[in-house]
Structure 1
């Protein structure tokens, strides 16, 4: 996984070209004005999901990972805590191929807090639990770029 802020993109020039394409898209479009839902960029190979929700306690959330897509969580309005671990440290449930969803159970290895401009890039071995509150519930808006691998 990779954690950073869009203001520091020059430090991430080594990232895959499809990931850099997401940052270019984010800088060229006003994602805060986008409606909730899925927005195509390059068909099924690259698209962005805009989500809005209220964060909650970790106990109300679930763990997940993906095999077919990288997730690039890009915070538009936060804060949100995302708990992370490696899938090999977790109890893996049955993979749901049609949804590219690997449910997991376990404990966090660590957590990151995303505020506006922050991002978290999750690879297939990266378990993540999103929508965890920081201090208390907060309404957030986030872009999740889905990058086919």
Structure 2
């Protein structure tokens, strides 16, 4: 996992080209104006999902990880807590290849709070539970870049 803010991208020169491509795209496009849904950037190799929802209690949310794609969460408006752990510490359920979705159960060993401009990069071993409320329910809009790695 890598947690940061897009205003400090110069502190991450080690990021792979495909990840930098996502941040370049975010800087060149008004993602706040995008409609909810999936937006192709380069076929299945790279796309962005725009999501809007209201944060809630952790027990109302689910754990997930992905094998074929990196997730790059970029907060556009609002704030949310994302609980994190490693998949090795979780009870893994059956992987759903069609959705690149690994559901899990378990407890967090940490969390981050994403506010406008913050990002969280999740690799395949990074379990994450999104949409957890910080100070009560809050409407958020977020871009989730999907970068194909397998």
5 Å matches for 1:84-95? 84-95=84-95
- Structure 1 distance, partners of 2:78, 2:125, is 25
Q: Paired residue for 1:38?
A: 38
TM-score, L = length of structure 1? 0.99
Displacement, 1:95? 0.2
Displacement, 1:77? 0.5
SS in 2 for 1:71: strand
Q: Paired residue for 1:139?
A: 139
Structure 1 alignment gaps of length 5 or more: none
Q: Paired residue for 1:20?
A: 20
SS in 1 for 2:84: strand
- Structure 2 distance, partners of 1:84, 1:132, is 11
Displacement, 1:13? 1.1
- Structure 1 distance, partners of 2:109, 2:16, is 25
Displacement, 1:42? 0.5
Deviations 1:7-45 (A, max 9, x none): 000001101100000000000000000000000000000
Residue 89 (structure 2) pairs with residue 116 (structure 1):
no
Deviations 1:91-114 (A, max 9, x none): 000000000000000000100000
Q: Paired residue for 2:6?
A: 6
SS in 2 for 1:144: strand
Structure 2 alignment gaps of length 5 or more: none
Q: Paired residue for 1:65?
A: 65
Displacement, 1:78? 1.7
- Structure 2 distance, partners of 1:118, 1:138, is 16
Q: Paired residue for 1:126?
A: 126
